[in-house]
Structure 1
């Protein structure tokens, strides 16, 4: 996959993500941040604890 192709495939997600976050806020949720956990070899309980 070339970087240009990747950018074109990812670009539509940003506005959709932004709308989703704004809807959560409108519904009364307090958005304090975002974390993504990479795949790894830990057990599920350890992965949850590490988040």
Structure 2
């Protein structure tokens, strides 16, 4: 188990659980969560732009 605040660390995990207000709202692989277009995808998009 890894608690990651950096999304680059989360991307390497086999399974990611996204928490919102202490509740798991999404789970899956990086690719599945990106395809889903939910909270994780929005965070990844914002983080990716900031890294450029």
Decide: shared fold, TM above 0.5. Answer: no
Compare CA radii of gyration and give the structure with the larger one.
Answer: 1
Bigger share in strand: 2
Ranked by relative contact order (alpha carbons within 8 Å, sequence separation 6 or more), the top structure is 2
